[in-house]
Structures are given as structure tokens and as C-alpha cells.
Amino acid sequence: MEITASKEVLGQMFGSLESVYPEMIEVRRDFHMHPELSFKEVRTPRIIAEHLRSLDIETHENVGTSGVVGILRGAHPGPSVALRADFDALPMNDEKDVPYKSTVEGVAHACGHDIHTTALMMVERVLVQYKDQLNGNVVFIHQHAEEQPPGGASEIIASGLLKDVDFVYGAHVWDEGAPGEIGFTEGYAMGAGDNFEITLHGDGGHGAMPHTSNDTLVAGCQLVGNLQNIVSRHLDPQKSGVVTVGTIRSGDSHNVIPSKAYIAGTSRCYDDETKSIMRKSLEHISKTTADQFGVTAEVVFAEGYDAVYNHIPETQKLKSLVDTHVPELTTREKPPALTAEDFADYLKEFPGTFFFVGAQKSDAEANYTLHHPKFNPDERSMADIGKVFLTAVSHHLLGLEAAND
């Protein structure tokens, strides 16, 4: 297809996207009211599968634990482009004062996955209208369990349904971006993470006679501070890393020295070398600090996700395409962050990029960060995600090019 024609088709797609946007708001709000935890999703994937079948898109259910994959086969041969959205929620309360707040106690869509899912459903409704013009296939990945390692991405990849994929794209709402802003990051975009648990064991004893016992609580308090030396003294200053202790528990009485202390937290970085250094340092510091107080330390690591590494050619290309063909959107460079995402698994298998879509509210007082109990992104971000997805598909399957190509 000629570039002029492909540009015209993209414009028509955008018109179709806008036409379905109003009714898809209600779909998003329904998802928001009925959130489901990682690996326990039932209702959400059922709705997604019904939606795909209604569009006559090849539908695969129960991929991994509860993922859904749709395949739209174009009329002409060409590459396969995968678009991914996650649909699980978080174990927390929804504290927003809106009619569509969560109806499930202790579960909330506080990371925008309802936005991601609805945006991809909008794209599916649009692309099915143009299947006769597509030179290749589109694979729609509706992924379960992003929030809880080992995550759903690895299960979906293991299913074999992505074996013919040539490119992959994913999106996330961006709590620091204004509506209409699209953030691109070349190379490392998000961090690799480990969770750790440290259990200190000692003798315990009477609070009035500390000299007769080994105090795990004091040892634990000292250890929390010592762990902060990992980043400042064990890592190359040019490398990024963070160690955060999120939990410390010990004892339940005012006059008893506890025999056990429990510490849990997370470590984040970008590359494997730094990850190895942080693991070894954390274990060493835990053991030596415990020795100082005559207690023992048991350290257990839970493997987290690898770092999200955006392929530079695909990232640069998509940014140029958006700059050229979607003037209502503004692209900007987004600094990398040490938050984690299992989209990393897809990018280890296929070239592509993970971009960020501004979702701040126009009212500054209504803006909250991701994972906040009052987080409520601007719903317009659904259409913005859709436009970038459609632009990527049009490049690979319709020959759309940027102005400088």
C-alpha cells in the first residue's frame, strides 16, 4: 500500500476509534467495579473472550492460568504484530468517591490495568474492520497476573501462541504525564527486582535482663540501617539501584525480648551484574550483622522480573511515527524507573517497545500515584493508547512511514 493511502487508512481508523470510545468508557468502569487478583481472574477473561468471539477473532482462552489471546489474520501475508494489555488488579481497598468504585473488598484497579484492557478492546473493534487491507496478522495479548511474580507473561510465551510474532508493543498509564503525552524510553525503561525475606533467630528472654539473651529485635533494627550501605558503598556510583525494607516484625509484649525478627523488602536495579552484587551484599550484611548480636540470619530471595529493555530501533521508529501522524499527541523522553514489569519477558523474545501514556487528571487535587487507593487515571488515555497501537500496526502491516524516512 502506498504511504499516502496508508496515512488515509490510519485517519479512518482514528475516526472509528473515537466512535467507539464513549461506549467503551462504560466497559472500563465495569472492569473497575469488578477487579480480580493475579492468578484468580475469572470474570474479566470471560468478558474479553466473549468480546473477541463477537468480532469473529480467533480466540484462545485459559492461556497459562487465565490469559486470553486473540489472533486477527489479515487478508495478505506479512509480519505478525503483538499488542499486549494486562487485566489483573491489586490487593488493596478502593477509596475513591466515584459511582464506579470497586465492589470487591480489598481489591482495586489502582494500576490502570482496566484502562489498558479496554484500550486494547477498542483497537480490536477498529482493526477487525480493516482486516482485508492488512498485510500480516495482529496478535492481541490479554495477560493475567502482571502484579504477582512469576507473572502471566512467561505462561503466555510458553503456550506457543506467540511463536510467529515478529514485533511486540505494550503500554502503561503514566501518573506523571499529562493527557496527550506519550513517554518513550530507549534501552532500559524499568528495573529488575528481587524480593527478600530475612529471619533472625535468637534466644529471647526477659526485657529486664538483656544480658542473658540474644536480642533479635535490636539486631533487626541495626540490619535495616546496614542494608542501606549496599547502594552507597557496594555499587558502582554510575549504576542505579535501590534497597527498600517494607516490613519488620518482632515480638508482641512490652517486657519480652523476642527470639525471632522478620524483615522483608525489595531490591531493584537494571542489569544482571548489579543484581548479583546486590544479592551477595544483602546476604553478607545480613549474616555479619546477625553475628554481631549473637543471632543467626536466614535469607530467602524470591526471583522478580527482569528489567524492561526497549529495543532502540523500534522505540525510535514508533516515536517518529507518532510525531508525524498523531499531531494531537506530544512525545517526550521518559526517564527510566526502577518499578518492575513482566513485559520484560516479551521484549527478551521479540523486538518492540513499552511506552507510557499520560493519564493525569486536569484537576491537580484529583491526581494520585499508581498503587494509591484513590488512583483514578484520565479515561482519555484509553484512546491515546489506542492511537499509538494503531500507528504501530499501520507501520508494520500497511507500510506507514514517518516524515523523515
For 75-97, how does the pLDDT look when each residue is reduced to its tens digit (9 = 90+)? 999 999 999 999 999 999 999 99
Using pLDDT thresholds of 50, 70 and 90, give the confidence band for residue 3: low
Q: Specify the pairing of strand 67-73 against strand 58-63.
A: antiparallel
Does pLDDT of 161 surpass 80? yes
pLDDT at 4: 65
Across 162-180, average pLDDT? 97
Q: What is the C-alpha separation between 190 and 193, in angstroms, rounded?
A: 10
**371 assigned ligand-binding residue:** yes
CATH 3.40.50.1820, applies to 194-303: no
Domain ranges of the chain: 3-190+306-398, 194-303
**113 assigned ligand-binding residue:** yes
Q: Which of 398, 404, 393 is nearest to 83 (CA)?
A: 393
Does pLDDT of 2 surpass 60? no
- % of the chain at pLDDT higher than 90: 96
Q: Active-site residue 88, yes or no?
A: yes
Q: Which of 191, 172, 192, 190 is nearest to 182 (CA)?
A: 172
Task: For residue range 130-147, list pLDDT tens digits in order.
Answer: 999 999 999 999 999 999
Using pLDDT thresholds of 50, 70 and 90, give the confidence band for residue 108: very high
Q: What is the pTM of this model?
A: 0.94
Mean pLDDT of the chain: 96
Task: For residue range 210-248, list pLDDT tens digits in order.
Answer: 999 999 999 999 999 999 999 999 999 999 999 999 999
pLDDT at 362: 77
Of 86, 88, 94, 215, the catalytic one is 88
Do residues 143 and 65 touch, judged by C-beta distance below 8 A?
no
**111 assigned ligand-binding residue:** yes
**234 assigned ligand-binding residue:** no
pLDDT at 363: 78
Q: Which of 401, 29, 388, 25 is nearest to 174 (CA)?
A: 388
Using pLDDT thresholds of 50, 70 and 90, give the confidence band for residue 361: confident
Q: Specify the pairing of strand 135-143 against strand 67-73.
A: antiparallel
| Domains 3-190+306-398 and 194-303 alike in fold | no
Across 252-261, average pLDDT? 96
pLDDT at 310: 99
**172 assigned ligand-binding residue:** yes
Q: Active-site residue 405, yes or no?
A: no
pLDDT at 81: 99
Do residues 60 and 48 touch, judged by C-beta distance below 8 A?
no
Q: What is the C-alpha separation between 334 and 352, in angstroms, rounded?
A: 16
Neighbouring C-beta atoms of residue 246, cutoff 10 Å: 9
Across 257-281, average pLDDT? 97
Does pLDDT of 1 surpass 60? no
Using pLDDT thresholds of 50, 70 and 90, give the confidence band for residue 403: confident
Of 36, 146, 341, 379, the catalytic one is 146
pLDDT at 404: 74
Three-state SS for 194-248 is EEEEEEEECCCEECCCHHHCCCHHHHHHHHHHHHCHHHHHHCCCCCCEEEEEEEE
Task: For residue range 35-76, list pLDDT tens digits in order.
Answer: 999 999 999 999 999 999 999 999 999 999 999 999 999 999
CATH architecture of the domain with residue range 3-190+306-398? 3-Layer(aba) Sandwich (3.40)
Radius of gyration of the chain (CA): 24
pLDDT at 179: 94
pLDDT at 5: 74
Backbone angles phi, psi at 46, to 5 degrees: -65, -45
pLDDT at 73: 98
Does pLDDT of 364 surpass 90? no
State the cell numbers at 301: 530471595
- % of the chain at pLDDT higher than 70: 99
